[in-house]
Amino acid sequence: MSCEHEHERCHQEPLFAYSKLPTRILEIQGPRQVRLRVTDENERERYACLSHCWGNISVIRTTKLTYSTYLEVVPWKALPSTFKHAIDLTRRLGLRYVWIDSLCIVQDDAVDWRHEGSKMASIYAHSYITLVAAASKDSRYGLYRPEPPALFIEYQMQQKANQAPYSIYVHPRRDHYQFISNKLPLFKRAWFHQERILSGRLVFFGETELYWECRSGLKCECGYMSEPPMTNTLADSKAPGDIKTWHDLVIRHTQLDLTFNTDIFPSLQGIASMWQQQWNHTYLAGLWKEHLVAGLMWHTKSAKPRSTTYIAPSWSWASVQSPVDWWTDLVVTHRNTKVTVVAVSTTPAGQDPKGEVTAGTLVLQGRGIRATLEDPSDGWPQRKIQLCPGGVPSEAIFGQARDSWYPDVILQQNVDVVLFCMVKEKKNVLDFLVLTKATGHTASYERVGLAMSFQEDVRSTFDRYSEEMTITVV
């Protein structure tokens, strides 16, 4: 494989070493013969990974009930087409092992799932190759597609009358739109977003052809595409201060689909592990302690009700059920930051703090002003915020003219809030977290939005009446 011998950048990857095997792996014992194997702690060998859509069907999986059976044999007839194709191709590539998530993790064991999920970065990063069932909406559809009609166009040719006629076959350029625009079924899945970034070498099985991607480039089977790799790797982040790389990853990730919203942190867990290894930063519910104020300045695309299942503290972008974004022109520095982070912590559900969490607390010290959220009126599509210093409504109304107000969640009428100043930008632009009393927490607040004001009357009212506060946000 030319990637192995000719790509200088790929040689920096761990792909070519005989890597430490995952905890469990599918061992291919022969054609149509496969079993689940528990590996030795320091056992090393090359292996493949499969990326696929689970879809809306019941996928064969390892459970506490099937575990002992699968250690002997995984019934070939029970495997869907995608799994069969991946196992067969892995064997034909000369590899003995393939990792498939539904079979190599005990799916009804939360402890095992969290433990193996914490190893996702290592599993995909050390895979010799990742096989990507990009065009299959579930595992019944397999890796391969029937050859499209008119694969070649024939032209009858004859240069001279006394010469025999001959044919020229032309391969038409294939349509790459579905691939380039991320419209293939697997590309819509958040789990695959992580798997693609972590993998050093991938082969995509598309609608009409194969695509190859490694750290050195992206190519298609017909030869039309030859581009830099599309993956936004964390290696592209040249300095610890480049938090924009992480924010871009989160922005993309929240646009993708998850079957279970509780998977939001596990589906980023491997990428977070890579970042932490690279920069030695502290991870906190999708944000980084070393860039916490900048991280807190996320906002939603549209407000939706908060999940009834606890996912994350309200100050984390993962607490909302909408895609999120960051203001691209906002640069947070020590000079323009108006808040002090007194304390911050999360409580992980398992051993890895980069996985699911059960609680999180943020203590901020700075200046805030009391206000009230009012219903839309006068044709304005969003709620206005009336500043109420000392509980008395003022003339300063936030949410008009050039102000920006992004609610995180759908709120009840006339909610009392605190505008807590985070950043003071150039030209006296003020950026606020919008906080309200947390349900069931008499002394704590929860975040309900992000606001930015350009208005002089808002700034002057804030400067005159804001109070020094120490606020706990949960």
pTM: 0.86
Cα 309 to the center of its chain, rounded Å: 20
pLDDT value of position 379: 40
CA trace torsion 274, 275, 279, 282 (10° rounding)? -110
CB 60 within 8 A of CB 102: yes
390 pLDDT above the threshold of 70: no
Tell me how many degrees the CA angle 325-266-253 measures, rounded to the nearest 5: 25
Give the Cα separation of 118 and 266 in Å (integer).
Answer: 8
CB 434 within 8 A of CB 297: no
245 or 428, which is more confident: 245
Q: What is the largest CA-CA distance in the chain?
A: 102
Environment class of residue 40 by beta-carbon count within 10 Å: exposed (0-12), middle (13-18) or buried (19+)?
Answer: exposed
Both tokens assigned to 77: 């007839």
Q: Is the dihedral of CA 181, 187, 193, 199 positive or negative?
A: negative
Residue type, 446: E
pLDDT tens track for 11-59: 665 555 688 999 999 999 999 999 999 999 889 999 999 999 998 889 9
Q: Length of the chain, please?
A: 474
Tell me the HSE value of 216 on the side-chain side, using a 13 A CA sphere. 12
Nearest to 429 by CA among 338, 365, 341, 363: 338
**CA distances (Å), origin 415, targets 400, 401, 410:** 18, 22, 11
Q: Which of 41-45, 226-230, 313-317, 320-324 is predicted least confidently?
A: 226-230
234 or 100, which is more confident: 100
pLDDT tens track for 205-256: 998 889 999 888 899 988 778 777 655 455 454 444 479 989 999 999 999 9
Mean pLDDT, rounded, of the chain: 87
Treating both helix axes as pointing N-terminal to C-terminal, what angle do 243-253 and 190-198 enclose, rounded to 10 degrees? 140
Task: For the chain, state the CA radius of gyration.
Answer: 27
Which H or E element spans position 380? none
- Termini Cα distance of the chain: 52
Give the Cα separation of 161 and 165 in Å (integer).
Answer: 9
Q: Which of 102-106, 150-154, 214-218, 365-369 is predicted least confidently?
A: 150-154
pLDDT tens track for 113-135: 888 988 888 899 899 999 999 99
